[in-house]
Structure 1
Amino acid sequence: MDEKLKKLRDHMTTTDFKNIRFDDEKKQLVMKRIINQKETTKSWIPKAVSTIFSLAIVFIVFFSGRHLLFDSSNLVQGSKESSGKIVNQEGITLSDNTNEVIDSNHENSPDLSKKEILYRMLNTNDYFKTAQGSYVYRNPYIKQKVFYKLNMEKGDIGGYEQAVNEQSNSSVTTIVKSDKILTLHEEQKEYLLTKAFSLNGDSISLDEVYGKDEYGSSVITYRERPPIGRDSLFPFEIVANYLEDEKQWEIEQEENYLGEKVIVIRGDLSAFNRETHQSVSFKFWVHKATGILMKMETYSAEGNVVNSLKTQKLILDKPIPSSEFQLNIPKDFKKMM
């Protein structure tokens, strides 16, 4: 039982829940909802696993007593070739070339206001159809490379992500096909196949993002989006936490990053986020045409980088055959309990 809880806690604190604000008010809210046995989830998470997520949150509350941390996981092993590429089990290959530039036909956008930048970053789904690439994410606890492909054309979503832990060389693979999500944990030889009700919800306004629930507690409403490359392609949690107060950040300049126009944002963290992320300030490099987070750094009071995300490769709106995404479960894998 202890091992299962440990695995569940590791998974929760390194995937979609890593950027969620979870203060004392939220802890009390969770307990109220468990007592009243009410379903309040509004996301792509299937009802079949909502109980597991609730238990995981309670476990984290009592055993960590702090906010959830900031990034992804420690799972599926890719085979490395001498060419420096990582090849996954489905044969999808992504180059790990840090000098490769973006190949994009997106037109330059006019100057954007703070609200327009915020809206675009919260609704990146609307600004591209396909994406493939890689990025590196690092914080005091995790060093990770993420390789991904995603096709959202015609509403039939297909995607692939492999997150490789640099310390252990272990990784997790996530494959999306229509309304199903397959997660493969190579190190444990386990899989989880779930059904998602929505992977690409309607656009969300700024007024809809921040609100109050039935208990009067502050809540953030999330737009549904595929669980692929989320820190960069769909940086909703990061944006909702860091950019909520427009007085705390400024548009610094425009510049080129990997050959593409980006907007540079610099700001100070709230007292809450300073404690959570061990940082006092941050800097974002935002893809101007789409709102994708290309690069991010947070800084300590001494000016040292604490958390960082750096895109190494991004190709937008290049056709990706849907046949590349198959829900194949290896024969030697067992279902995750």
Structure 2
Amino acid sequence: MKKTIALIALSATTLTSVLGVSLLKNTSNTSAIEAKTAIECDTTSNVCVAIEDINLSTEDFILKTSTINVSKPSKQNILYMMLNSIDYYNYASGTIAYANPKDLSSSIVVDFQSDITNSNAYSHTIQKNVSITDINKAVLQSDTTTLTATNEKNTDYLADREVCYNGGSATVANNIHKTYSSSTNSAITRAEVPEIANKDRFRINEDGIPCYRYRANPTNIHDASMCLFPQEMAFGFLLDLDMWEIEGSTTYEGRECVVLSGNTNEEYGSKIGVDKFTFYVDKLTGTLLKYVGYDSKGEISDYMVSSGISFDNDFNIESSIEILTAKSSSYTAEK
């Protein structure tokens, strides 16, 4: 039997299965989150032994101040920057669109602003129907506007919510049902997210069960974690260094990225319907700016694209928070 063992006590959290492992994630009406990291182990044995059968060199672990050397990138460097991307920026804003894991014809679009330093964040998430033509255009031409409200085809909003964190307090507005919820001390602060040594991020226990150790997400933009804090993607796709290659570098959305491509292992790939994949990883932050997954027929089966990504403090998050606060005041409080 497997379960998630919290290293610090849990309070009002939900364990969400992502990529076959359990993660700690805020719910829309969560109160204070005390759990900061978790590790999944087989509970028949509490002993986890150091991983030995994955070809990672402990001598090549990155330093916090490192960035990816595009001219001569290291696989380990890329992997650990993705696992620790939150250590490389204080602000983030932009838009991402990714596939609904249950239905490729449904896209989830997230506009976001995050100020990690002050634990302030705003996001607007809309789920809507899309056509395969829209998806191909967005993926191939980096055109996320194809998947936003500017596209007349995409008017069937399946979900529409806004979330803001303001000095720790959270407000969640459901724009479909005109309801809202609020809580205090809900934001995850940078001070509450301890660093974890790279060598301790994953283990194989004595029964051969892999154990993954996750850091909490201080961006407080959980719907955009695939881009801003791609721990799950790094664990799921990159741990076996022999399964992927560094193809080179490219400029994507004005940012220099390292391009990776590879194959998923059979067990993991079958779970998510992805046989081959391509990543665009930002060389300065380790964030994942583009991901395309292909099935065994070579057709797109999963994706995440981004636009307008910035890691500068060039947005007015206070205005976004004020607007949402005013809007929610006219909504009905959720019980």
TM-score by length of 1: 0.65
**CA 1:277/1:173 → structure 2, altered by over 3 Å: closer, same or farther?**
same
Deviation readout 1:121-145 (Å, 9 max, x if unpaired): 1111121121111121124343121
Query: Does the residue aligned with 2:12 lie in a helix, a strand or coil?
Result: helix
Q: 1:183 maps to which residue?
A: 172
- Higher percent of residues as strand: 2
Query: Does the residue aligned with 2:268 lie in a helix, a strand or coil?
Result: helix
Q: Return the alpha-carbon distance in structure 2 between the equivalents of residues 322 and 189 of structure 1.
A: 22
Query: Does the residue aligned with 1:166 lie in a helix, a strand or coil?
Result: strand
**Match for residue 272 of structure 1 among 249, 267, 272:** 267
**CA 1:68/1:29 → structure 2, altered by over 3 Å: closer, same or farther?**
closer
Q: 1:29 maps to which residue?
A: 2
Q: Return the alpha-carbon distance in structure 1 between the equivalents of residues 331 and 206 of structure 2.
A: 46
Residue 68 of structure 1, CA deviation = 8.2
Deviation readout 1:35-89 (Å, 9 max, x if unpaired): xxxxx3358xx94423xx36x87xx9xxxxx9589xx9xx9xxxxxxxxxxxxxx
Residue 213 of structure 1, CA deviation = 7.4
Q: 1:263 maps to which residue?
A: 258
Q: Aligned ranges for residues 211-226 of structure 1 at < 5 Å? A: 211=203, 217-225=209-217, 226=219
Q: 2:107 maps to which residue?
A: 143
Residue 177 of structure 1, CA deviation = 2.2
Query: Does the residue aligned with 1:240 lie in a helix, a strand or coil?
Result: helix
Alignment of 1:303 with 2:266, yes or no, is: no
**CA 1:246/1:199 → structure 2, altered by over 3 Å: closer, same or farther?**
farther
Q: Return the alpha-carbon distance in structure 1 between the equivalents of residues 238 and 68 of structure 2.
A: 23
Q: 1:41 maps to which residue?
A: 6
What is the count of residue pairs matched by the alignment? 252
Amino acid across the alignment from 2:119: I
**Match for residue 120 of structure 2 among 141, 158, 163:** 158
Amino acid across the alignment from 1:227: N
Residue 199 of structure 1, CA deviation = 3.5
Q: Return the alpha-carbon distance in structure 2 between the equivalents of residues 120 and 164 of structure 1.
A: 29
Alignment of 1:315 with 2:310, yes or no, is: yes
Residue 335 of structure 1, CA deviation = 2.3
Amino acid across the alignment from 2:162: T
Q: Return the alpha-carbon distance in structure 1 between the equivalents of residues 7 and 160 of structure 2.
A: 28
Residue 267 of structure 1, CA deviation = 1.0
Query: Does the residue aligned with 2:176 lie in a helix, a strand or coil?
Result: coil
Q: Return the alpha-carbon distance in structure 1 between the equivalents of residues 176 and 7 of structure 2.
A: 31
TM-score by length of 2: 0.66
**Match for residue 209 of structure 1 among 201, 205, 210:** 201
Q: Return the alpha-carbon distance in structure 2 between the equivalents of residues 216 and 49 of structure 1.
A: 31
RMSD: 3.3
Q: 2:329 maps to which residue?
A: 330
Residue 186 of structure 1, CA deviation = 2.2
Q: 1:123 maps to which residue?
A: 84
Q: 1:231 maps to which residue?
A: 226
Query: Does the residue aligned with 1:227 lie in a helix, a strand or coil?
Result: coil
Alignment of 1:245 with 2:208, yes or no, is: no
Q: 2:46 maps to which residue?
A: none
**CA 1:119/1:67 → structure 2, altered by over 3 Å: closer, same or farther?**
closer
Q: Return the alpha-carbon distance in structure 2 between the equivalents of residues 288 and 178 of structure 1.
A: 30
Note if contact 1:160-1:173 (Cα within 8 Å) is conserved in structure 2. Answer: yes
Amino acid across the alignment from 1:187: I
Q: Return the alpha-carbon distance in structure 2 between the equivalents of residues 220 and 268 of structure 1.
A: 20
Note if contact 1:122-1:204 (Cα within 8 Å) is conserved in structure 2. Answer: no
Note if contact 2:119-2:188 (Cα within 8 Å) is conserved in structure 1. Answer: no
**CA 1:161/1:215 → structure 2, altered by over 3 Å: closer, same or farther?**
farther
Residue 202 of structure 1, CA deviation = 3.1
